[in-house]
């Protein structure tokens, strides 16, 4: 959902379109469904009650119901890789179709669209080549903002449909959504661990525990105050007959799903993938509705856009297939070995994400005529959230700074930020032990934080402390195969072979294809003289993607077979 749909109070998207196709323009068998996708009604819905409930308001429930069952076919990691590729990377495509398929839009922002891709790709390629993390941290943090703006944009749309243009309503919606979303991220041990881990890897200073505790308390306190004010204000709106049930349902489903998937659900990797799914579903729907109306009203678009966004179910299916095909490129990266080609492919995927966030930050400005009309926004709009003085300064800025200079200006500060982040990691990297010890204290409920701490301790020869950290990871998540493997490896170093064998067997019960567990267990069994079982595990170790482990396993297997 466009992040800038919400920047001006009163000029909020009122609909995804107004005109419906004539019966003659629609294939008879698909007429009902295609009209539903392209014909918003006048009762306060973006498209229709059914499609709004499916694509926008109820998208979190739809995604949970549709995507959770797929978990049965993969382990958590492979499941997340699959969904994040085909859905998350795939959902970048609809925005790019609009950027490069809408002639008026491209003319308006041509220098940004021309300068953005090569600049960001060059930066992503450099970071990937140097194995730096700053650009991933930028993408991760920008995603938080982007998602929040999408949610807030839908709230503003439903208010506009009800002709609620109050500045106070908009500001309280924003304050409550922002504070609650940040509070849920902080309350999720895995999310805050992942975010801080990327920041620390990028060279940002490690937060003292006392400072984090203070910030955590402050965030929760602000959220509690915002919640009380918001409830009171909505009670006032209810008494006045102005309460917007569609907007509040959107808010409730969004934050209810966020809590369930980020905090209540024990498997954060799966939860994050499912959560991304409903964000993508909402974006598919709003972009389809926008472009459909743009084509219907004779917008100045390319032939491809005019062809794709016609009221036909087959074309809607093609639209989805193109999205999945684009996401499939990201999925293919996982099957390419370490090489220059993989570096380029990863840089391309990173560029796709950053361009998606960047373009969505300005292509949906409601002051632009090409946005107002397809979104059903009236020409005469109430006073916006931006003060008149700021609007005047912005107008002067537009006169003094032509469009190509704006593109160069943005290219300059993006380059400066990238150089700053890259320099931090190169010239003042954080000590891994300090970083991981801090994260284990800040996010004590995140098993991966204890796993990383154990690894830092093990590499320093502090095996007993490492074993305690690995055990803590296992206690938090008994189904964490990697923690069992590392605990077993540490037990070998401490001379406790029985515990090591037990740990490797537990890892294989959880993840039968764990190559490291097979190889290490085979070595211990060989030392015990259990030749036949050792050969079986070496055989399993040869089936992995790690060529070095495969070669070692084959050599060991041949050696044992010769001793029979």
**Which residues have CB under 8 Å from 72's CB, separation 6+?**
none
Give residue 323's pLDDT band: very low, low, confident or very high (50, 70, 90).
very high
Query: Which pLDDT belongs to residue 375?
Result: 64
Query: Which pLDDT belongs to residue 255?
Result: 97
Question: Do 438 and 400 reside in the same domain of the chain?
Answer: no
Q: Is residue 172 part of a domain?
A: yes
Question: Do 84 and 224 reside in the same domain of the chain?
Answer: yes
Give residue 416's pLDDT band: very low, low, confident or very high (50, 70, 90).
confident
Question: Do 450 and 553 reside in the same domain of the chain?
Answer: yes
Q: Which residue has the higher pLDDT, 376 or 437?
A: 437
Tokens 């295609």 found at: 34
How far, in whole angstroms, is CA 374 from its chain's centroid? 27
Q: Which residue has the higher pLDDT, 446 or 29?
A: 446
Using the predicted structure, report yes or no on whether residue 487 has a pLDDT greater than 80: yes
The tokens for 258 are: 């966020």
Question: Do 392 and 528 reside in the same domain of the chain?
Answer: no
Q: Residue 39, exposed/middle/buried by CB under 10 A (0-12, 13-18, 19+)?
A: buried
Give residue 408's pLDDT band: very low, low, confident or very high (50, 70, 90).
low
Query: Which pLDDT belongs to residue 40?
Result: 44
What is the C-alpha to C-alpha distance for residues 499 and 538, in angstroms, rounded to an integer? Answer: 20
Query: Which pLDDT belongs to residue 507?
Result: 94
Query: Which pLDDT belongs to residue 529?
Result: 86
Question: Do 418 and 549 reside in the same domain of the chain?
Answer: no
Whether the CB-CB separation of 121 and 348 falls below 8 Å is answered with yes
Tens of pLDDT, residues 148-182: 999 998 898 888 888 888 899 999 999 999 999 99
Tens of pLDDT, residues 98-157: 999 999 889 888 888 988 899 899 999 999 999 999 888 889 888 999 999 999 988 988
- Domain boundary (425, 450, 480) is at 425
What is the C-alpha to C-alpha distance for residues 453 and 200, in angstroms, rounded to an integer? Answer: 14
Closest listed residue to residue 11, CA positions, set 192, 177, 196, 153: 153
Question: Do 349 and 456 reside in the same domain of the chain?
Answer: no
- According to DSSP, residue 208 is labeled P
What is the C-alpha to C-alpha distance for residues 85 and 256, in angstroms, rounded to an integer? Answer: 25
Question: Do 168 and 55 reside in the same domain of the chain?
Answer: yes
- Looking at the 3D structure of the chain, how many domains does it have? 2
Tens of pLDDT, residues 259-282: 999 999 989 999 999 999 999 999
Question: Do 442 and 543 reside in the same domain of the chain?
Answer: yes
Q: Is residue 353 part of a domain?
A: yes
Using the predicted structure, report yes or no on whether residue 236 has a pLDDT greater than 90: yes
Q: Is residue 25 part of a domain?
A: no
Tell me what the mean pLDDT of segment 485-513 comes to.
Answer: 94
- Domain boundary (396, 425, 454) is at 425
Query: Which pLDDT belongs to residue 404?
Result: 54
DSSP output for 478-540: TT-HHHHHHHHHHHHHTT-HHHHHHHHHHHHHH-TT-HHHHHHHHHHHHHTT-HHHHHHHHHH
Question: Do 471 and 523 reside in the same domain of the chain?
Answer: yes
Residue 462's domain comprises 433-563
pTM of the model: 0.82
What is the C-alpha to C-alpha distance for residues 48 and 111, in angstroms, rounded to an integer? Answer: 37
Mean of per-residue pLDDT scores for the chain: 84
Whether the CB-CB separation of 431 and 201 falls below 8 Å is answered with no
- Domain boundary (392, 425, 458) is at 425
Query: Which pLDDT belongs to residue 169?
Result: 94
SS3 (DSSP) at 265:
coil
Whether the CB-CB separation of 147 and 2 falls below 8 Å is answered with no
Whether the CB-CB separation of 217 and 170 falls below 8 Å is answered with no
Q: Is residue 456 part of a domain?
A: yes
Question: Do 447 and 473 reside in the same domain of the chain?
Answer: yes
Tens of pLDDT, residues 146-156: 999 999 988 98
What is the C-alpha to C-alpha distance for residues 38 and 50, in angstroms, rounded to an integer? Answer: 12
Give residue 407's pLDDT band: very low, low, confident or very high (50, 70, 90).
low
Q: Is residue 24 part of a domain?
A: no
Tens of pLDDT, residues 342-386: 999 999 999 999 999 999 888 876 556 666 677 665 544 443 433
Question: Do 309 and 391 reside in the same domain of the chain?
Answer: yes
Query: Which pLDDT belongs to residue 367?
Result: 54
Query: Which pLDDT belongs to residue 423?
Result: 84
Using the predicted structure, report yes or no on whether residue 192 has a pLDDT greater than 90: yes
Q: Is residue 26 part of a domain?
A: no
Question: Do 419 and 440 reside in the same domain of the chain?
Answer: no
CATH number at residue 548: 1.25.40.10
Q: Is residue 27 part of a domain?
A: no
Q: Is residue 113 part of a domain?
A: yes
Whether the CB-CB separation of 350 and 135 falls below 8 Å is answered with yes
């Amino acid at each position: 959902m466009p992040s800038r749909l919400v920047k001006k109070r009163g000029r909020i998207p009122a609909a995804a379109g107004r005109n419906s196709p004539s019966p003659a323009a629609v294939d008879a068998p698909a007429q009902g469904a295609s009209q539903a996708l392209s014909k918003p009604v006048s009762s306060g819905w973006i498209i229709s009650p059914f499609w709004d409930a499916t694509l926008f308001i109820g998208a979190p429930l739809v995604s949970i119901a549709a995507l959770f069952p797929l978990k049965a076919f993969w382990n958590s990691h492979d499941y997340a890789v699959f969904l994040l590729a085909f859905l998350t990377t795939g959902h970048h495509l609809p925005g790019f179709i609009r950027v490069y398929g809408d002639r008026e839009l491209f003319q308006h922002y041509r220098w940004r669209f021309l300068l953005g891709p090569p600049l960001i790709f060059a930066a992503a390629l450099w970071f990937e080549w140097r194995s730096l993390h700053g650009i991933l941290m930028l993408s991760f943090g920008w995603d938080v903002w982007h998602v929040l703006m999408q949610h807030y944009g839908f709230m503003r749309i439903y208010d506009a449909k009800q002709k609620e243009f109050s500045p106070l309503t908009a500001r309280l919606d924003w304050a409550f959504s922002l504070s609650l979303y940040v509070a849920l991220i902080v309350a999720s041990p895995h999310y805050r661990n992942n975010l801080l881990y990327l920041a620390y890897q990028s060279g940002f200073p490690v937060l003292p525990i006392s400072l984090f505790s203070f910030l955590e308390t402050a965030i929760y306190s602000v959220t509690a105050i915002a919640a009380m004010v918001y409830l009171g204000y909505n009670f006032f709106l209810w008494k006045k007959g102005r309460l917007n049930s569609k907007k509040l349902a959107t808010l409730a489903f969004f934050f209810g799903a966020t809590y369930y998937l980020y905090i209540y659900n024990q498997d954060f990797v799966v939860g994050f993938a499912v959560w991304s799914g409903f964000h993508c579903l909402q974006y598919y729907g709003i972009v389809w509705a926008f472009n459909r109306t743009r084509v219907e009203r004779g917008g100045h678009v390319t032939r491809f856009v005019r062809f794709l966004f016609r009221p036909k179910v087959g074309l809607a299916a093609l639209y989805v297939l193109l999205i999945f095909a684009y996401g499939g490129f990201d999925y293919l990266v996982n099957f390419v070995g370490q090489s220059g080609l993989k570096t380029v492919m990863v840089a391309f995927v990173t560029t796709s994400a950053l361009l998606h966030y960047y373009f969505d930050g300005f292509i949906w400005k409601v002051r632009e005529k090409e946005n107002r009309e397809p979104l059903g926004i009236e020409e005469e709009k109430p006073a916006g959230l931006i003060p008149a003085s700021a609007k005047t300064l912005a107008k002067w800025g537009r006169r003094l700074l032509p469009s190509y200079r704006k593109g160069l200006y943005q290219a300059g500060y993006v380059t400066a930020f990238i150089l700053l982040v890259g320099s931090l990691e190169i010239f003042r990297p954080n000590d891994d032990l300090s970083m991981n010890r801090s994260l284990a204290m800040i996010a004590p409920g995140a098993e991966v934080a204890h796993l990383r701490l154990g690894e830092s301790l093990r590499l320093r020869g502090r095996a007993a402390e490492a074993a305690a950290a690995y055990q803590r990871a296992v206690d938090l998540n008994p189904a964490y195969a990697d923690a069992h493997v590392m605990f077993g490896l540490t037990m070998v170093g401490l001379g406790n072979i029985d515990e090591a064998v037990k740990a490797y067997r537990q890892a294989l019960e959880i993840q039968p294809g764990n190559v490291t567990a097979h190889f290490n267990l085979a070595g211990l069994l060989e030392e015990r003289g259990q030749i036949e079982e050792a050969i079986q595990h070496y055989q399993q170790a040869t089936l992995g993607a790690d060529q070095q482990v495969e070669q070692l396993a084959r050599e060991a297997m041949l050696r044992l077979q010769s001793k029979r």
